[in-house]
Amino acid sequence: VDCDFSSCRLETHYNGVWGTVCQYGFTHMSAAVVCRGIGFEEGGKAVKKGGGEGPIWLSNVACKGTELDIGDCPKTCGGYECTHGDDVGICCWGLNNDKQGVRKNVRPIFTTVRHLREECYIPDRCVESYKEEEVVVRGSCKGLYDEEPSWTQKMRQGEWERFDNGECDDNQEMCCQHDCKLNPNEIASLSIPEKFSVTLFSEKYFEGHKITYVGPREVDCLSWEGWQDRAKSMLITGAVKRPRSSWTLRVYEADDDLLYMPSLLALDYLGSITIPYINFQGTSSLRKYYEDLPSSNFMVIFYGNVLVQRGGQYEWCTTSSDGSQLLVEGNMVVNNDGRHEQRHVCGTYEVSSGLVPVEVRGFLSTGSLILHAFWRGE
């Protein structure tokens, strides 16, 4: 608009209101992208124009020249430290037989809240969920020292690509949940109802390392399971009901103090049960499954199979106090033996796809049993 022999002022329409673009950071490459976008194939240049009215919608528009539309260029929302005396103008070269000012390569429909924010749009506020079943996310490990969690947040099914500064972005509904207590790297425990699956990612926008839990599941402390990233984005999806994991537990007791993993010949066999996982932080957590568990000088052995979807090199780990060992296909992969405080040890072992037999051993001399076993890789 407001064209003269040298240039026309560049204005953009946002939220029903026309506004200007600040010259600060606006390059000749940016002008060329704008000119090509309205039909001037030879490009153009940027000049200081001024004279606009209303809001200054954009500043620091820095196109590289390869973009099809100005909407694809890096930019800053708003006109920080800009006045209308700094409004940018453009001069386009060559001939244009099309209607003046009509963009040729308008960007496709937005697919993520991130794209909305990049275009300076404010995402809608998420409508409050009235469903009873929601995932409970906490800022502290559940039951640790019997303290109340530092914060608790209920989250419905959604694609939570970012949470920061009291806002959580949900791509599934293209909305933002305000007053959200989640912050990056602060998720410590989860309560997952049946029919839900939760995947945590170490980076925003579903990138980086990830870990998935399928409900019903109580994740009392993520750090006990080797997950130290604590998450910067999260997927909560519906989960197909599947058979629960099954491990055979055998319990043995010793007459003398245990210093290292004992031979079964020197132990008294107490009994056997089936349990869903190997994830115990304290003797009491295992006693919930085996009521007659001794308080000291006992050994436990877990037998089971893991389903490997794709063969390859995997990392196998135990975290324990006192000692622990992990065998894959009868081979010792992790030797975390001896009396010691909580200690984390890993080893690598290559397996083929299919069911792979795994054995986990642990013993406690005195104190409280800690035993976690997990695998990761392909």
* Tens digit of each residue's pLDDT (9 = 90 or more) over 226-238: 777 789 999 999 8
What lies within 8 Å, CB to CB, of 180 at 6+ separation is: 153, 163, 166, 167, 168
The per-residue pLDDT for range 249-283, each reduced to its tens digit, is 999 999 999 999 999 999 999 999 999 889 898 99
pLDDT mean over 219-247: 82
CATH fold of 8-107 reads Mac-2 Binding Protein (3.10.250)
Average pLDDT estimate for 281-291: 91
CATH number of the domain at 124-238, please? 2.60.20.10
Question: What percent of the chain is modeled with pLDDT above 90?
Answer: 50
Res 100 pLDDT > 90? no
The pLDDT, as a whole number, for residue 146 is 53
Per-residue pLDDT for 3 more than 90? no
Give the neighbor-by-neighbor strand order of the sheet with 11-14. Answer: 11-14, 17-21, 56-59, 76-77
Query: Does 7 have pLDDT greater than 60?
Result: yes
Domain residue spans in the chain?
Answer: 8-107, 124-238, 247-376
The pLDDT, as a whole number, for residue 224 is 75
pLDDT confidence tier of residue 94, bands split at 50, 70 and 90 = confident
Cis amide linkage into residue 216, ω under 30° from 0: yes
DSSP state of 258: -
Q: Are 178 and 122 in contact (CB under 8 A)?
A: no
| Residue 245 and residue 222 in contact, taking contact as beta carbons nearer than 8 Å | no
- For the whole model, what pTM was predicted? 0.57
| Token couple for 75 | 């930019």
Fold of 247-376: Jelly Rolls (2.60.120)
pLDDT at 247: 93
